[in-house]
Chains A and B, each alone.
Chain A
Amino acid sequence: MSCNCVRADVGATEPLENLLRFFTINAPEIPYDVAIDMLRQSYTDFARQTCLLVSHFDIPMQKDVRTYMLEPPEGYEVFGILGTDSNGTYLRYPNVNTWYFSWGQRFRLIGNSIIEFEYGPSRDDIRRTLALHLLPTTCADTIPTEISTPFGEGIAMGALRRALEIPNKPWTNIQLAQLKRRDFSRAALTGRNLHIAGRGAVTPAFKPIRIL
């Protein structure tokens, strides 16, 4: 049932706390733990909305074995499968826990950590590559530079929005929070468009999915 699956590398990262420089100017009295937690929430929202955090996961299939564990890179968890290759063709996987038709093979995701194929392969040397949609874990400390460089400020604005909405504090500012929410939404929309256009961050680990 289990497999010795290849785990994709994450690539170059930087500490998530580097994004605090966008954050603490408007709310300097926010404690560090509170600020970093808000950043993590905003980063998770961004990853969920944009589907930009994608990792390729090679599964060395074993004869007659249908179920395999998905092992995301450290610091990440699997949110869904965006696609799987079948004879070189990537296809979209829209819903979790439903059977999906690919070229000659159906699969489903169980609990975001196990993939189950309809049929086990007839021999051992067949390989499958999955495109995993990742989310950072609750206590993530790093962010890929391919995300932080273009979208770091937008992610920080999502965190700042949360801080500005805390009531009865010296930095509370609901109007400014709405502006920051808009900045975050704009960044998420840009990221989402990049993903849809198949032009997302290109690294050995994070490759965009091309929809043909």
Chain B
Amino acid sequence: MDTVGQAILFASRQLSDQRRNREFTRWNRKDLLNYLNSGLKEIAAYRAEAFASEQTITLAPGIRQILPEGVSVTGLIDTRTGLPVNEADDALLKTFAGAYTCPVKPKFINGTATYVPKSFAVDRSNPKVFYVSPAVPAGLTASVLVTMEGKAPEYTFQDWDKPIAMQDKFYNNLIDWMMAEAYQMDTESQVSLGQARGLKQAFYSIMGVKYKMDSARNSGFYNGETGTGDPRAVAV
């Protein structure tokens, strides 16, 4: 992945603003850095997985856990074995927790009380909350490695040589966004506005915004309906 400085230089070159001894004339470094940061935020809004990261967190007693930072949990890794934890149905996990009456006991491995996560589920209404099963016993310190969709980073000039912390496949979209924002400055030029519009359309097309909206509409989501489903799917 290119650094912040390389991305800004590339965008400026694409905007034909890198003539000899007259670099960054029309769009200065500060503007392009702002466009880069706003582009990262826009990508995070639609494709949060572009900023996935891992963090070890300490679990609280019980089943309900809260992500200290980040957007939502996408995976859990058992730090003891390095194996992924199974993702379960969140409605069933939450419903059953109230009915489960067996005592919560730690597992003893080599004589040491240990917690072993077996399954987890992300709360659909609040992706920062996730549930683990079995419950974490009280008084036991347990930790897991959480894979989460993160927030977009915000860069300054001090980060000029730092690689952009984003999946490579969205790099071109970021450049498209930066160029679109740059062209939008030229409000008096219809050509520039047209360029900006085309670049923004390409950006949102890759983000899959139209596809998601159409899918949600066809599923009846906005009307509270159950939807027609995929006619190609055959009920078993």
Contacts and interface: CB of A to CB of B under 8 A. Distances in A.
The majority secondary structure among interface residues of chain A is loop
Contacts, number: 52
A30 B88 contact: yes
Contacts of B88: 29-32
A34 B134 contact: no
Nearest to A17: B118
B100 A30 contact: no
A29 B100 contact: no
Contact of B133 (A24, A31, A169): A31
Contact of A24 (B86, B92, B102): B86
A141 B107 CA distance: 11
A138 interface: yes
A15 B121 CA distance: 24
B118 A169 contact: no
B68 to A, nearest CB: 23
Contact of A33 (B87, B96, B105): B96
A28 B86 contact: yes
Contacts of B119: 30-32
A37 interface: yes
A31 B102 contact: no
Contact of B93 (A28, A33, A170): A33
Contacts of B236: 173, 175
Interface string A160-193: 0000001001100101000000000000000000
Category for how many chain A residues contact B: 10 to 19
B92 A32 contact: no
Interface in B56-109: 86-89, 92-93, 96-97, 100-103, 105
Nearest to B91: A169
Contacts of A139: 101-103
Contacts of A33: 93, 96-97, 100, 133-135
Contacts of A32: 86, 88, 118-119, 133-134
Interface string A18-39: 0000001000111111101100
Given A138-B102, A139-B102, A34 B86 contact: no
B113 to A, nearest CB: 15
Contacts of A173: 236
A24 B85 CA distance: 13
Nearest to B119: A32
Contacts of A31: 88-89, 92-93, 96, 119, 121, 133
Interface in B112-131: 118-119, 121
B121 to A, nearest CB: 7
Interface in A2-52: 17, 24, 28-34, 36-37
A141 B134 CA distance: 13
A30 B89 contact: yes
Contacts of A28: 86
Nearest to A163: B92
Contacts of A169: 89, 92
Cβ-closest 4 pairs across A and B: A32-B118, A139-B102, A31-B93, A31-B88
Given A31-B133, A32-B134, 5 more contacts: A31-B92, A32-B86, A33-B93, A33-B134, A166-B92
Interface of B: 86-89, 92-93, 96-97, 100-103, 105, 118-119, 121, 133-135, 236
20 contacts: A17-B118, A28-B86, A29-B86, A29-B88, A30-B119, A31-B88, A31-B119, A32-B119, A33-B93, A33-B97, A33-B134, A33-B135, A34-B96, A34-B133, A37-B100, A138-B102, A139-B101, A166-B92, A170-B89, A175-B236
